[in-house]
């Protein structure tokens, strides 16, 4: 196991500005919370209504009717008790009380039926609300500007919205319905008590305060703590993944990283545990104080009841009904108190979720409604610059060039020189901070992003191993109607066809070990598949970022020959460190520290004797020696 010294290697985590913002919210007083509850309930109701109007209406109406049935039960009980405790012979009293007792029984049965119905409506509503919340979230996560993912603040907020917020909506709906049911029950019991004697109702309401206070304090403590621990929990999840994922399993062993990772995990988990225990201790103290005060308050209510009977201010039958009403009120107030806690707590998470959605929406690039983006005949970059969030140096500066359909350009340069960043600008994945990137003289910023990307085929450096069939992997995201001939042609051009046919179910083989019967591919085979996917799109702009890094010599040679064959139909952007592959490019741009320092054909640049010539000569020497 790693020492604490090793565990300290990861940089310390600091709080974000949003935690400071929410801390003030969390310190809100009881009155503020009660003031805010209606807004939370209203927002939840609106969300539930959007998810399923019928079930929302049913849950509300049935709960309201159930509380009416409860008040009816209590008042019918008083009438039945009056008849039972009246003067006269027992059989006569029983006979007189019978209709009232029947009324009580009917009221109880009706209330049970209504409560069951409300439960059924809620059960139908919950999954719909969760789906709606997640759908809204994923609509945003898949449409925000790619640059958002470079911003750690966005990533933290997304994490909280995903892991806390979206899930909280479902719980919030249940808690809100419980809160409404509990509150209506409390109102029904309080009304019955008011009818029996107004003082009893006042005493009941005062007695409920300590329970409310304790529940809210516990909720606030828990929220504040979870909020402050978001970054640490993300680190724990990350470490857990690193130690349990198939993708990392080989390196964890080969690099003997086990001790380091476990050490980091244990050290972070220890800090997490002590933070959790601290909160649990403070919550227990608040709850204990709340229980003591609630107990004393309940005693007070019964003392008031006793005094009223003693002063003959309350008949015995009414006192009996009052005891029942107090018990019912206690049940309802326990439900309301516990759920007020949950509604407030889940409401805060829901607030995070809503805030995230608002902020994420602001990061969705919306272009004015213009004519459909035409396939690029000409791409021109003018004095473009790009700086990633929270970085000091720009990744690109002063980039200017033009490329026409039918041309192949190559971007070369050392690691970190800006090649991938430039390719992303050309594809409209990032927007330049200054300068412009135009397709057919139309700035990309004014085009609908999806319309732009439909014209792009891209093999990125870090392509994903999509857990779908081989065929699905090639057709992924493409508008083309399923076309076997086109799929096979793309696979052939990428050198993937024979390899796919050799799989157990050919093109229908599932490429994921996580599923029964799934297969995995080698690095080079995955790369061929990624290339086939880009070619299948048959897009007018093809960007290949290190498309042959994992290919064997024969496959590499065949791939670049195939790219040259179809080059006239499109604009091709090649990024590769293997300079021999780009000798045929119409123009080569050499990048250094985010700037173009040389440009020209292979012959021009070789004659120039600059950085390109130096890099080319270095590689050529490597092959000769
Ligand atoms: N998402 C990001 N957030 C912050 N900085 C980034 C990000 N992506 C790249 N950079 C930085 O921008 C600069 C250019 O990176 P880029 O990936 O464009 O280089 P490259 O020429 O493609 O490198 P390589 O040959 O290693 O692929 C580098 O300094 C890199 O650290």
Residue 506 belongs to domain with CATH number: 3.40.50.300
Reported as a pLDDT band with limits 50, 70 and 90, residue 407 is: very high
Question: Which of 308, 340, 360 lies at the terminal end of a domain, its last residue?
Answer: 360
Containing domain of residue 396, as a range? Answer: 371-455+539-625
Q: How many residues does the chain have?
A: 625
DSSP 21-64: HHHHHHT--HHHHHHHHHHHHHHHHHHHHHH-HHHHHHHHHHHH
Asked whether residue 449 falls in the same domain as residue 545, the answer is: yes
Atom of ligand 1 nearest to the CA of 413: 21
Asked whether residue 518 falls in the same domain as residue 440, the answer is: no
Question: What is the per-residue pLDDT for 570?
Answer: 94
Distance 465 CA to ligand 1 centre (A): 22
Class of residue 548 by CB neighbours under 10 A (exposed 0-12, middle 13-18, buried 19+): buried
Cα separation, 379 vs 359, in Å, equals: 32
Asked whether residue 391 falls in the same domain as residue 494, the answer is: no
Q: Tell me whether residue 43 is in a domain.
A: yes
pLDDT in tens, 534-584: 999 889 999 999 888 888 888 888 888 888 988 999 999 999 988 888 888
In whole angstroms, how far apart are CA 183 and each of 33, 236, 296, 339? Answer: 16, 40, 22, 10
Q: Tell me whether residue 1 is in a domain.
A: no
Question: What is the per-residue pLDDT for 345?
Answer: 74
Q: Is the CB of 460 under 6 A from ligand 1?
A: no
Asked whether residue 451 falls in the same domain as residue 305, the answer is: no
Q: Tell me whether residue 16 is in a domain.
A: no
Q: Tell me whether residue 304 is in a domain.
A: yes
3-state secondary structure of 578: coil
**How many distinct structural domains can be found in the chain?**
3
Atom of ligand 1 nearest to the CA of 591: 21
Asked whether residue 287 falls in the same domain as residue 320, the answer is: yes
Atom of ligand 1 nearest to the CA of 422: 18
Asked whether residue 524 falls in the same domain as residue 547, the answer is: no
Question: What is the per-residue pLDDT for 4?
Answer: 42
Q: Helix crossing, 30-51 with 53-85: angle to 10°?
A: 120
3-state secondary structure of 160: helix
Atom of ligand 1 nearest to the CA of 417: 21
The arithmetic mean of pLDDT across residues 29-33, rounded, is 66
Q: Tell me whether residue 4 is in a domain.
A: no
Of the candidate ranges 77-91, 169-183, 281-295, 518-532, the one whose mean pLDDT is the lowest: 77-91
Q: Tell me whether residue 9 is in a domain.
A: no
Question: Which of 504, 538, 572 lies at the terminal end of a domain, its last residue?
Answer: 538
Asked whether residue 527 falls in the same domain as residue 379, the answer is: no
Cα separation, 52 vs 487, in Å, equals: 41
Pocket test for ligand 1, best of 395, 415, 427, 433 (most atoms within 8 A of CB): 395
Asked whether residue 349 falls in the same domain as residue 383, the answer is: no
Reported as a pLDDT band with limits 50, 70 and 90, residue 19 is: very low
Q: Is the CB of 391 under 6 A from ligand 1?
A: yes
Asked whether residue 95 falls in the same domain as residue 30, the answer is: yes
Asked whether residue 376 falls in the same domain as residue 344, the answer is: no
pLDDT in tens, 290-310: 888 888 888 888 888 888 888
Question: What is the per-residue pLDDT for 7?
Answer: 42
Distance 418 CA to ligand 1 centre (A): 6
Atom of ligand 1 nearest to the CA of 423: 18
Nearest CA to ligand 1 atom 28: 416
| Residue 55 vs residue 313, higher pLDDT | 55
Q: Tell me whether residue 12 is in a domain.
A: no
Asked whether residue 117 falls in the same domain as residue 186, the answer is: yes
Closest CA relative to residue 317, chosen from 112, 93, 505 = 93
Reported as a pLDDT band with limits 50, 70 and 90, residue 319 is: confident
Nearest CA to ligand 1 atom 5: 388
Pocket test for ligand 1, best of 399, 419, 582, 594 (most atoms within 8 A of CB): 419
Cα separation, 177 vs 66, in Å, equals: 13
For residue 43, the domain's CATH number is: 1.20.1560.10
Of the candidate ranges 143-152, 237-246, 274-283, 335-344, the one whose mean pLDDT is the lowest: 335-344
Question: Which of 479, 509, 538 lies at the terminal end of a domain, its last residue?
Answer: 538
Pocket test for ligand 1, best of 416, 462, 591 (most atoms within 8 A of CB): 416
Asked whether residue 439 falls in the same domain as residue 294, the answer is: no
| Residue 497 vs residue 516, higher pLDDT | 497
Q: Tell me whether residue 169 is in a domain.
A: yes
């Amino acid at each position: 196991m790693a020492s604490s010294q090793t565990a300290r290697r990861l940089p310390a985590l600091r709080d974000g500005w949003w935690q400071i913002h929410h801390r003030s919210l969390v310190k809100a007083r009881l009155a503020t919370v009660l003031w805010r509850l209606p807004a939370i309930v209203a927002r939840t109701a609106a969300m539930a209504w959007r998810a399923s109007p019928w079930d929302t209406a049913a849950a509300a109406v049935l709960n309201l009717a159930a509380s009416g049935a409860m008040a009816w039960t209590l008042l019918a009980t008083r009438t039945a008790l009056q008849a039972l405790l009246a003067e006269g012979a027992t059989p006569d009293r029983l006979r007189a009380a019978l209709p009232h007792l029947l009324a009580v029984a009917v009221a109880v049965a009706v209330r049970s039926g209504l409560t069951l119905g409300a439960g059924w409506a809620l059960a139908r509503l919950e999954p719909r609300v969760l789906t709606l919340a997640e759908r809204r979230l994923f609509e945003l996560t898949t449409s925000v500007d790619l640059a958002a993912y470079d911003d750690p603040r966005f990533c933290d907020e997304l994490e909280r919205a995903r892991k806390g917020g979206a899930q909280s909506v479902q719980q919030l709906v249940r808690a809100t319905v419980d809160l409404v049911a509990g509150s209506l029950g409390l109102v029904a019991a309080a009304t019955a008590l008011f009818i029996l004697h107004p003082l009893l109702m006042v005493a009941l309401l005062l007695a409920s305060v300590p329970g409310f206070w304790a529940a809210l304090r516990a909720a606030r403590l828990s929220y504040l703590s979870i909020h402050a621990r978001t970054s640490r929990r993300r680190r724990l999840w990350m470490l857990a993944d690193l130690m349990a994922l198939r993708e990392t399993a080989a390196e964890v062993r080969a690099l003997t990283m086990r001790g380091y990772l476990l050490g980091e995990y244990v050290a972070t988990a220890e800090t997490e545990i002590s933070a959790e225990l601290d909160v649990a201790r403070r919550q227990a103290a608040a709850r204990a104080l709340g229980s003591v005060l609630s107990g004393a308050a309940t005693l007070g209510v019964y003392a008031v009841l006793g005094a009223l009977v003693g002063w003959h201010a309350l008949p015995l039958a009414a006192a009996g009904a009052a005891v029942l009403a107090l018990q019912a009120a206690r049940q309802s107030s326990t439900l309301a108190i516990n759920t007020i806690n949950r509604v407030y707590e889940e409401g805060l998470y829901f607030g995070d979720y809503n805030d995230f959605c608002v902020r994420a929406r602001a990061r969705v690039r919306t272009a004015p409604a213009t004519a459909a983006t035409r396939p690029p005949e000409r791409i021109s970059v003018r004095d473009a610059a790009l700086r990633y969030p929270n970085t000091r140096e720009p990744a690109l500066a002063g980039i200017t060039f033009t490329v026409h359909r039918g041309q192949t350009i190559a971007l070369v340069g050392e690691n970190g020189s800006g090649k991938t960043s430039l390719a992303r600008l050309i594809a409209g994945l990032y927007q330049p901070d200054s300068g412009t990137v135009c397709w057919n003289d139309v700035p990309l910023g004014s085009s609908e992003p999806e319309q732009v990307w439909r014209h792009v085929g891209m093999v990125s450096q870090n392509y994903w191993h999509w857990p779908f069939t081989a065929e699905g992997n090639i057709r992924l995201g493409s508008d083309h109607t399923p076309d076997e001939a086109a799929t096979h042609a793309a696979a052939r051009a990428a050198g993937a066809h024979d390899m796919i046919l050799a799989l157990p179910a050919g093109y229908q083989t599932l490429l994921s070990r996580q599923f029964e019967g799934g297969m995995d591919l080698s690095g080079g085979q995955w790369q061929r598949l990624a290339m086939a996917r880009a070619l299948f799109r048959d897009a007018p702009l093809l960007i290949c970022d290190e498309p042959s890094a994992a290919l064997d010599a024969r496959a590499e040679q065949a791939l670049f020959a195939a790219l040259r064959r179809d080059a006239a139909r499109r604009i091709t952007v090649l990024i590769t460190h293997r300079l021999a592959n780009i000798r045929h490019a119409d123009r080569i741009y050499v990048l250094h520290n985010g700037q173009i320092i040389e440009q020209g054909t292979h012959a021009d640049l070789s004659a120039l004797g600059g950085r390109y010539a130096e890099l080319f000569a270095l590689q050529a020497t490597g092959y000769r020696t």
